[in-house]
Structure 1
Amino acid sequence: MTTDLPGPPPEPARPLLGPGSRIFVAGHRGLVGSALVRRLTDDGHEVVTRGRDGLDLRDAAPTEAFLRDVRPDAVVLAAAKVGGIMANSAYPVQFLEDNLRIQLSVIAGAHAAGVGRLLFLGSSCIYPKHAPQPIREDSLLTGPLEPTNEAYALAKIAGIAQVQAYRRQYGAAYISAMPTNLYGPGDNFDLETSHVLPALIRRFHEATRDGTPEITLWGSGSPRREFLHVDDLAAACVRLLEAYDGDEPVNVGCGEDLTIRELAETVREVTGYRGSIAWDTSKPDGTPRKLLDVSRLSSLGFRPRIPLRDGIARTYAWWLGRSAPVG
């Protein structure tokens, strides 16, 4: 792993996030937002949320008014339109425009309302398709993006630029973090819109339940991916809010990856599926490899705690207890 990034950042010159802070979590019902609510609440912070039915974050005026009324000490922007390869390929307009509107509305609204601290959550898909591995934060904008999620990636890159602009023009203590592939309780298991890990869990579960002798998965199985349990991401976010005040985004991952084929075998083991796996190589693989260099985050003293197999088993148990069909 590359380790020649600058050493540990100096202690911030200004207070960032004190105990018992009031924090607005935008997107609290999603995978990331719900994990943040759990973690921040456990840490003794006052968490403020607002559902989509009560506040459309794409609409700037009511978003600013809400933030002025609530007056949070910090905002965590976890709200986003997200999905896998199928959804990104089918709905690029929505992935671009909805995310741009949310980001512009929340970040500008936070500044207008005098919010002193903000964490914008992007995605590792912001990096070039063929970025050197592991991917450092300074790889941003050094090459072409993966075409299947270009619209989403461009929106997230714009969010980073917006955060940096507020820092430079107004001295705002706003920061951004780029998580790797996430999974855990609260994930989306819809086969049309989900990411690879929850989709695999559901596919293998249903094949086991139905006695299906073989299931076919997209691609060759050779791409390598990194996965981080969402509770580990929430812990990393808290650490960043408490200790990081830099202009550059921070990668959030575990620093290890595996092939999609190896991931499928792990999910097969967890779900108990005994049939065979076929690979449809006519379908796209996406980016060949996407492993993040997490040196900057590690320098802040953060280490993930949940091993992948254990995390998959916990996620499978969560889904079975809430959403999986009986039988």
Structure 2
Amino acid sequence: MSVRVLVTGGTGLVGQGIKYVIETEPENSTFGKQSGEEWFFIGSKEADLKSQEQTMKLFEKYKPTHVIHLAALVGGLFANMARKLDFLRDNLLINDNVLHAAHEFKCKKVISCLSTCVYPDKVEYPLDETKIHQGLPHESNFGYAHAKRLVDVQNHAYKDQYGDNFTSAIPTNVFGPHDNFDLESAHVLPALMHRCYLAQKNGTPFVVWGTGKPLRQFIYSRDLAKLFVWQLRNYESVEPLILSVGEDEEVSIKQAADALVSAMGFKGDYRFDETKADGQFRKPASNKKLLGLLKGTGFQFTPFEKALDETVQWFRQNYETARTGKKQ
């Protein structure tokens, strides 16, 4: 029987990472395309997943046997703070429609993408797969976080009631080619990259919002893509799985900005605006469970500086067509 993999959000950061891996890894290798597989990368232009009717038509068209569900309304700290209801409601609709369609079309496997920001604000670190529901999420993104938490609830409900093989992945901060670099809605690293690019282009200061002290775990989108492909084929539990570099590889926002200045060769005025909000100070996640499962696969994480260099190179080469919002 053929395997037909539908990737929702397939034109975005992680979706394009998966497409890159499927197209460049050796066929029938651990992370490459397997014989008999067909992959379909679907963006929002093809269907509005907030609509149950359009979602069902999409599934009818592609008849997937497997789904990697990446589609979501996403944004950085300030977008989440300003549009809490949008992030809650849109994601509730998208997730419910995709999981319902996958159930109706008897899909053999669904992996949905969560985020470490779903975790409680007050929780014992490091984060692990058992702590998602142990308290309220951070106030700054409670709309998005609650919507994503419910995916885990739905996965368990579909499994308990119908035996559906639905699970989820929890990446840490993802970055790489095809990211959203729009200054109004981007996550921290692509936003910094775009700010630095414009400062370099316009001869203006490169100003980083906040103190630079918060710590984050960054994972390269092409590394994450390999992990999604591996999880689709090898991970059979309903319980979510953290996909991340180790907690010992946390990087401060200042360290990330310093590395970015170096990667871009920025020589101008570079400083921090400490009047702006920092968000959560840190939210380290343990990848202990993942590493135990990956033994023997040969998987290795790309060093942060190398991944950053590759992303900067891609951004420079694709600036005119990248998601940057209004050109400046």
Shift of 1:21: 2.0
Q: Distance in 1 between matches of 2:229 and 2:136?
A: 32
Q: Distance in 1 between matches of 2:41 and 2:250?
A: 34
Q: Distance in 1 between matches of 2:268 and 2:120?
A: 36
- 1:241 is aligned to 232
Match of 2:10 among 25, 28, 33: 28
- Does the 8 Å contact 1:176/1:249 carry over to 2? yes
For residues 10-56 of structure 1, what are the alpha-carbon distances to aligned partners after superposition, in whole Å with 9 as ceiling and x for unaligned?
A: xxxxxxxx9x6210011111111111223234522311244423321
Asked if 1:202 is matched to 2:194, the reply is: yes
Asked if 1:297 is matched to 2:294, the reply is: no
- Unpaired runs of 5+ residues, structure 2, are 25-31, 322-326
For residues 58-116 of structure 1, what are the alpha-carbon distances to aligned partners after superposition, in whole Å with 9 as ceiling and x for unaligned?
A: 11123123313422110110101111012111211211111111100000111001111
Asked if 1:39 is matched to 2:30, the reply is: no
- 1:84 is aligned to 76
| 289 and 312 in structure 1: CA distance in 2 versus 1, 3 angstrom threshold | same
AA matched with 1:129: D
38-47 vs 51-60, which moves further: 38-47
Match of 2:267 among 266, 274, 279: 274
Q: Report SS of the residue matched to 2:207.
A: strand
Asked if 1:175 is matched to 2:167, the reply is: yes
Q: Distance in 2 between matches of 1:101 and 1:269?
A: 42
Q: Distance in 1 between matches of 2:314 and 2:188?
A: 17
Q: Report SS of the residue matched to 1:139.
A: coil
- 1:143 is aligned to 135
Q: Report SS of the residue matched to 1:48.
A: strand
- Does the 8 Å contact 1:24/1:74 carry over to 2? yes
- Percent identity, aligned pairs only? 33
AA matched with 2:22: L
Q: Distance in 2 between matches of 1:239 and 1:88?
A: 31
Q: Distance in 2 between matches of 1:39 and 1:95?
A: 29
268-277 vs 173-182, which moves further: 268-277
Q: Distance in 1 between matches of 2:123 and 2:274?
A: 23
- Does the 8 Å contact 1:75/1:117 carry over to 2? yes
Asked if 1:306 is matched to 2:302, the reply is: yes
AA matched with 2:203: G
AA matched with 2:277: P
| 127 and 268 in structure 1: CA distance in 2 versus 1, 3 angstrom threshold | same
Asked if 1:158 is matched to 2:147, the reply is: no
TM-score after normalising by structure 2: 0.89
Asked if 1:319 is matched to 2:315, the reply is: yes
Shift of 1:287: 0.9
Q: Distance in 2 between matches of 1:314 and 1:41?
A: 18
- Unpaired runs of 5+ residues, structure 1, are 1-17
86-95 vs 47-56, which moves further: 47-56
Q: Distance in 1 between matches of 2:42 and 2:225?
A: 19
TM-score after normalising by structure 1: 0.89
Q: Report SS of the residue matched to 1:290.
A: coil
- Does the 8 Å contact 1:116/1:172 carry over to 2? yes
202-211 vs 184-193, which moves further: 202-211
Shift of 1:273: 1.4
Shift of 1:137: 1.3
- 2:90 is aligned to 98
Aligned-pair Cα RMSD in Å: 2.0
Shift of 1:230: 0.5
- Does the 8 Å contact 1:25/1:48 carry over to 2? yes
Structure 1 runs of 4+ aligned residues shifted over 4 Å read: 324-327
Shift of 1:167: 1.2
Q: Report SS of the residue matched to 2:7.
A: strand
How many residue pairs align between the two structures? 308
- Does the 8 Å contact 1:27/1:79 carry over to 2? yes
Shift of 1:235: 0.5
For residues 285-310 of structure 1, what are the alpha-carbon distances to aligned partners after superposition, in whole Å with 9 as ceiling and x for unaligned?
A: 11111221011111111644311111
